[in-house]
Amino acid sequence: MSEAPASPSPTPGERDLGRSSRGASVLGWSLALAGSALLMVAGLFLVRWVEQGPTPPYLQGDGLEAPGKAAVHERAPKPGNLLRLAGSGSNLPLTRALADAFVATRPWLRIRVHESIGSGGGIKAIDDQVIEIGLASRPLKEREQQLGLVAVPYARVAVVVAANPSVPVRSVAREELLDYWGKRRTHWDDGSPVVVLQREPGDSSHLAAAKAIPGF
């Protein structure tokens, strides 16, 4: 499927893994509690080691410009044995571990895993041909499906509820959790205030929790 070119020197600060052709790749997943991971791929061949890459300078928001406002992003040339990945931050730890394991047996390959730019950012980056695989933590939206991308489930990641070690409660029932989230309960058993921190509504982790816990 590919030749094994000579190993290029890794650039400091990059995370390397492999290569692919545009046939449209997107890698995504829906986190635990009811999500499914997807990987949109076209034709890929992978790389050498995984270093951390700089955050790509594209897309903010949901990852797609409004109709009639096509953004133009200049594509920098890349080595033929380099695969670039970017997208949802939820996917990064597992994806980097997979990249490390893959390139460990393919020393001529390189995979660059960028910092989080969000699911929409990863999808947009693939459409702009500045990466080969996009990471998504949700299914493709209808307008994204029109880009000709292919989504392939590949993993599940847990969404958890965590508390500071100082919290006097060791476990809560689902109904109690909803009361804390809905601010119907504002204090712990010892009288200390409950401060709820959560992902923004619409975030894939938030949606996964809402699907698993009705009323969340």
Q: pLDDT tens across 45-92, in order?
A: 222 233 444 444 433 333 333 333 333 344 555 667 899 999 888 888
Enumerate the β-bridge partners of residue 44.
20
Residue with tokens 């047996």: 105
**Domains annotated on the chain, with CATH:** 18-151 (3.40.190), 159-216 (no CATH)
pLDDT, the chain, mean: 69
Task: In whole angstroms, give the CA distance from residue 117 to residue 36.
Answer: 19
Give the three-state DSSP class for 216.
coil
Higher pLDDT, 46 or 136: 136
Q: pTM (2 decimals)?
A: 0.57
Mean pLDDT for the stretch of residues 126-139: 88
Tell me the per-residue pLDDT of 179-208, one tens digit each, with 9 for 90 and over.
Answer: 998 889 999 989 999 998 887 777 777 788
Task: In whole angstroms, give the CA distance from residue 19 to residue 48.
Answer: 10
Task: In whole angstroms, give the CA distance from residue 83 to residue 104.
Answer: 15
Task: In whole angstroms, give the CA distance from residue 47 to residue 52.
Answer: 14
Specify the length of the chain in residues. Answer: 216
- Strand runs (DSSP E) across 59-137, as ranges? 82-87, 110-113, 133-136
Query: Residue 27 — very low, low, confident or very high, per pLDDT cuts 50/70/90?
Result: very low
Give the three-state DSSP class for 174.
helix
Would the pLDDT of 36 be above 80? no
